[in-house]
Amino acid sequence: MTAAATKGSSMSEHTPDTIDRLTGGKGADLKAARGTVWAGLEASHQALFGPDAIADITPAERALVALAVSVWHADEPAASFYATAALDAGATDTDLAAARAAARAGQGGAERLAALLAHAHLLTFAPAEASPAALQSLRDAGISEDGIISASQLIAYVAHQLRAAHVLRLIGA
């Protein structure tokens, strides 16, 4: 089989992943050329957003944090994606409205969500200001050390994901 035939075959068998959903499929050729990188990004998404990914943080809370990070990055396709994910995970329309409003104001509603959003805000806008004291609200909200680390990974991942999707949308436009 020729390289062109192999490439064509793999493209026709492509299953849309999260980045495809965030970009509307733009940049598919670029993704195909660096498949391992994109596969790793999708594996990270599954590791952080899968149903059992983070024991301390519910799937709805994870999606609401990702929604807030998306709002802060002015990435409406991602905000819509994570809003849908939050609803699918059991969040209510009230939760979505609160997360969007909190993201715009830089604060949260319920104690757990407020703590997670404050942490996300800190890591998004002023990561150098993170300190042990800044983590106390997460602990006070009942989030374990493992949950704090996982939440931090999720926040960093979403920021990376949004940047990658943005570049693909720009190049694929």
In order of their start, the domains of the chain are 19-172 (1.20.1290.10)
HSE-up of 16 (CA within 13 Å, CB side)?
Answer: 8
Q: Tens of pLDDT along 99-117?
A: 888 777 655 557 888 899 9
Q: Tens of pLDDT along 9-32?
A: 344 455 678 888 898 888 777 777
Which secondary structure element, helix H or strand E, spans residue 170, and what is its range?
helix 145-172
**Global confidence as pTM:** 0.84
Burial 120-150 (b: 16+ CB within 10 A, else e): bbbbbeeeeeeeeeebebbeebebeeebbeb
